[in-house]
């Protein structure tokens, strides 16, 4: 997502917990002729969020876009979910998303756009994914409430909900050939999503092309939800 936005002309702060991964992302952008600024931030720690946005504020550059996409997913039978796992997923996927949006909004003016990453799991029941599904369902409620509250300030808030994409977080699932066959059969377009499939929807929600769109969730899932 950072690479797509940089290629579209955005000046990007790319954030994450690991400096090495951020430097790698910035190197990929540089190879494409774009510049990104790395910024270490752990959304589970309020002090880390505050430090990161203080650095952004100190740069003097306006903040027009926030992509709230930190996430974690673990499959676990419901009767085996413990407090640590629940807190890990909810703190990353929902609590962290809220406080990042809260802090980012203080640097935003009219015309700014916040895009929260939801999931197909927010609209369907997935066995052994209760904490994850709960966190992503919470993202939808948070998105709608913030959209209404911040509309008078000209800040739009929407959610982007990917379907089945092969990412570092979902790699374990894709190692199972039987799972791949089963999931692909549920997708009307007949394939899993790739990174480029998110570029257009992302740019739409971040740009003036969606100036009259707020409080919405855009599913990018190859028709999986529509087929249920």
Quick one: which H or E segment has residue 57? helix 46-59
Angstrom distance (rounded) from CA 215 to CA 52: 26
pLDDT at 179: 87
In a domain, 116, yes or no: yes
- 162, part of any domain: yes
Q: What whole-number percentage of the chain has pLDDT above 90?
A: 92
Domain-embedded: residue 215: yes
Q: How confident is the model at residue 55 (pLDDT cuts 50, 70, 90)?
A: very high
The encoded tokens of residue 213 equal 């769109």
44 lies in some domain: no
Structural domains of the chain, count: 1
Phi, psi of 13 (to 5 degrees): -95, 120
Q: Is residue 199 part of a domain?
A: yes
| Domain membership flag for residue 14 | no
Residue 107 domain-assigned?
A: yes
DSSP 120-155: GGGTS--TT-HHHHHHHHHHHHHHHHHHHHHGGGT-
Active-site residue numbers? 132
Average pLDDT, the chain: 96
User: Which CATH number is 150's domain given?
Assistant: 3.40.50.720
Per the structure, the complete domain to which residue 110 belongs is given by 69-220
Q: Is residue 123 part of a domain?
A: yes
């Amino acid at each position: 997502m950072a690479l797509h936005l940089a290629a579209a002309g955005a000046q990007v702060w790319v954030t994450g917990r690991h400096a090495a991964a951020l430097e790698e992302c910035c190197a990929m952008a540089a190879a494409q002729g774009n510049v990104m600024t790395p910024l270490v931030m752990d959304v589970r720690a309020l002090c880390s969020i505050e430090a990161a946005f203080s650095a952004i504020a100190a740069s003097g550059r306006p903040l027009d876009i926030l992509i709230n996409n930190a996430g974690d997913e673990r499959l676990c039978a419901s009767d085996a979910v413990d407090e640590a796992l629940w807190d890990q997923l909810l703190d990353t996927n929902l609590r962290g998303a809220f406080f990042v949006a809260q802090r980012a909004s203080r640097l935003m003016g009219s015309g700014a756009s916040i895009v929260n990453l939801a999931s197909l799991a927010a609209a369907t029941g997935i066995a052994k994914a209760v904490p994850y599904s709960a966190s992503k369902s919470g993202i939808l409620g948070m998105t709608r409430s913030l959209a209404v509250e911040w509309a008078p300030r000209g800040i739009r808030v929407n959610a982007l909900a990917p379907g089945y994409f092969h990412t570092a977080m979902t790699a374990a699932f894709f190692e199972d050939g039987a799972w791949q066959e089963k999931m692909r059969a549920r997708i009307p377009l007949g394939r899993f999503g790739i990174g480029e499939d998110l570029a257009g929807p992302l740019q739409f929600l971040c740009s003036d092309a969606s100036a009259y769109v707020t409080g919405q969730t855009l599913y990018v899932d190859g028709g999986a939800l529509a087929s249920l």
